[in-house]
Structure 1
Amino acid sequence: MAAIDCGTNSIRLLVADLPEASAGPHSQLTDLTRRMEIVRLGQGVDRTGRLAPEAIERTRVALASYAADIEKLGAERVRMCATSASRDAANASDFTEMVQATLGVAPEVVTGDEEARLSFTGAVRGLPADAKEPFLVVDIGGGSTEFVVGDRAGGVRAAISVDIGCVRMTERHLSDDPPTPEQVAAAQADIAAAVDRALAVVPGREAATLIGLAGSVTTVVAIAEDLQEYDPERIHHARVSYDAVAEVTEDLLARTSAQRLAIPVMHPGRADVIGAGALVLRVIMERAGMPSVVASEHDILDGIAWSLQPASR
């Protein structure tokens, strides 16, 4: 099966072998390839309401390469989900036509609720048995952040998507490099208001474990763990304290993009927006009263793959 997650900042591919449903809830998928490209599809969407032609073209180039991998690996089914930027754009049809022509299937512009549920499935499957429930799963994307509360047995209890993300907050507030204290304060206030709205719908303060998804979280955790190269195996299920997240966030917001780029674990396409992403994580931990966050390398991409699982015979 092939799963593609196209967000505001990145486009990612997972091709995997999936077990039959009869294999049980603790069975795992077998990765054949995972890929990620920063294409910044949501460039300027918050300001213009439209997808930029150059952003669509960057996405097409990455998608064409993914399509070649999918064909080479012989995937039997393909599902592509497009998220925040595609929901917001007035010219979303241009994007849809490009995907159909390049990949041979149409993208599903999933709702915020479906996005949250896919993220929860991907994150919770494979958690250590001693991880305390219920879980608050937060998926910090480029344009939006999903909040989901649930447990293993009952699944999702409540979910919401709010329009705070690393690209959107950078474009909206953090215009200087590095951002001024006034810009950071404005971003923090905007984020806090959105987080409080989310926590009024999703009972995140009642959760026992916070699980953080996506590149902003995994990068912050990698920096907090002082990794000298990005190592998914060491990041996956690493637990980092609020104090460590706050320290990393303050440091990132004080640096220029060029200085952030010099950090060993930093992806080049994330250096200009990681400060905002870290700030979103820190504010969520503050407002939800979470003393630590567990990072997960498995997220909505894995949830998309699991949604293709063959039915039990």
Structure 2
Amino acid sequence: MSRVAAIDCGTNSIRLLIADADQGALTDVVRLMRVVRLGEGVDATGRFSDAALERTLAATREYAELIEQHDAGRIRFVATSATRDAANREVFFDGVRELLGVEPEVISGDEEASLSFQGAASVLSLDQADNLLVVDLGGGSTEFVMGNADGVTAARSMNMGCVRFTEKFLSTDPPTASEIAMAVGSARELIHSASIDVPLSQATALVGVAGSVTTITAHALGLEEYSSEAIHGTELPQQLTADACTDLLTMPRSVRGELPYMHPGRVDVIGAGALIWRTIIDELAERTNGRIASTITSEHDILDGIALSIASSERR
């Protein structure tokens, strides 16, 4: 058994998992998330802002202290969509190296998709014939990953996420009908592009991961507080999930902020996340002729995949 530390730095949040890994299974020691909005404005400027860098490095410093406190032997720091797009990313990398003593990795969309699938599939029962579609809906990108018990069979990462779509389309509170229509049109185009590489019509089950999807599930369940235990593994009728998406999309931000399971850092972007997830559900229903009647939510995602990848490299 070994103790590993995985850090997933995305467009909206930075997350830490310190876990004990034993023969492909993980036991959590610490699991944390901080909303730092690293990708704020990157789509428009192509650069990280000073404020975003300060927030993210402050969270990284906190994580470095926890990693030392819990004596994790191996660390992997993975950065995704926003960092791929930023011209001044070396400034960020220098800070990470200084704080953690490891080389930060900017992974490709394909590797991001693979790690997301590994994390989600690690806690699901997969039949050999299943075509499981895992959708990782992030702040700057969304990964579509098809796979089965043998691993990933097809994957595509698209520049479609809750922060990116909020900044690009949904400027009004609540969004107008024309803003919603433009965003849905763009999402449908990107889903179509993804379907060129990922055969969405062959999917036999749909699993959603990451903060937008888990928050939507909490809303659909009407939770009195955010509960990973209540959310993880939940299977809901597609219509119930779609209705929860519509509710969050059209709700004023002030009302969203009062929801007991809503993280403050998601209040302004969950509408776009809900729009994207609803559009994916609608597209999949059309492409599979209604064969998939439910959505499954997993709290295990790319973060778990990163931790598993460290443990796997140690065994080789």
Q: Which amino acid aligns with 1:6?
A: C
Q: Does 1:287 align with 2:296?
A: no
Name the residue aligned to 1:120. Answer: 117
Q: Which string of whole-angstrom CA distances, capped at 9 and with x for unpartnered residues, describes residues 228-274 of structure 1?
A: 11110110010122211221122112222111011111000001000
| 1:18 to 2:14 alignment | no
- 2:28 pairs with 28, 31, 41, which one? 31
Q: Deviations over 1:93-152 (max 9, x none)?
A: 111111111222121000000000000000001213679811000000000000000101
**Alignment match, 1:302:** 304
Query: 2:38 corresponds to which residue?
Result: 41
Say how many residue pairs are matched.
306
The one-letter code of the counterpart of 2:92 is F
Which amino acid in structure 2 is aligned with residue 16 of structure 1? A
Instruction: Indicate if the aligned counterparts of 1:12 and 1:35 stay in contact, CA closer than 8 A.
Output: yes
Choose 258-267 or 135-144, whichever is displaced more. 258-267
TM-score by length of 1: 0.95
2:59 aligns with 62
Report the Cα offset of residue 300 of structure 1: 0.1
1:191 and 1:283 in contact (8 A); partners too:
yes
CA contact (8 A) 1:50 1:89 kept: yes
Residue from 6, 10, 21 that aligns with 2:9: 6
Match of 1:179 in 2: 175
Distance 2:26 2:216 in 1: 26
Query: Separation in 2 of the partners of 1:3 and 1:132?
Result: 31
Kindly state the Cα deviation for residue 59 of structure 1 after the two structures are TM-superposed.
0.2
The answer to which of 90-99 and 246-255 deviates more is: 246-255
* CA–CA separation in structure 2 for the residues paired with 1:113 and 1:45: 21
The more displaced of 247-256 and 133-142 is: 247-256
SS in 2 for 1:136: strand
Matched ranges for 1:1-313 at <5 A: 1-19=4-22, 23=23, 27-128=24-125, 133-152=130-149, 154-289=150-285, 290-310=292-312, 311-312=314-315
Aligned-residue offset at 1:203: 1.0
2:260 is paired with a residue of what secondary structure?
coil
- Letter of the 1:247 counterpart: D
Pair 312,55 (structure 1): closer, same or farther in 2 beyond 3 Å: closer
* One-letter amino acid of the structure 2 residue matched with residue 142 of structure 1: G
Distance 1:91 1:312, change over 3 A: closer
Contact 1:77–1:308 under 8 Å retained in 2: yes
Supply the distance in 2 between the matched residues of 1:175 and 1:213 (Cα, whole angstroms): 25
State the distance in 2 between where 1:171 and 1:190 align. Answer: 14
Q: Equivalent residue of 1:148, what SS?
A: strand
Instruction: Say if 1:199 and 1:288, in contact at 8 Å, map to a contact too.
Output: no
Return 5+ residue gaps in structure 2 as ranges: 286-291
Q: 1:130 to 1:224 in 2, by over 3 A?
A: farther
Q: Indicate the percent of aligned positions where both proteins have the same amino acid.
A: 51
Q: 2:60 is aligned with what amino acid?
A: L
SS of the equivalent of 1:18 reads strand
Answer yes or no: is the 8 Å Cα contact 1:28–1:126 preserved in 2.
no
Query: Over aligned residue pairs, what C-alpha RMSD do you find?
Result: 1.4
- Aligned residues of 1:132 and 1:208 also touching (Cα < 8 A): no
Distance 1:294 1:131 in 2: 18
| Structure 1 segments of 4+ aligned residues over 2 angstroms from their partners | 128-132, 310-313
Alpha-carbon separation, structure 2, partners of 1:240 and 1:55: 36
In structure 1, list runs of 5 or more residues that go unmatched: none
SS in structure 1 at match of 2:16: strand
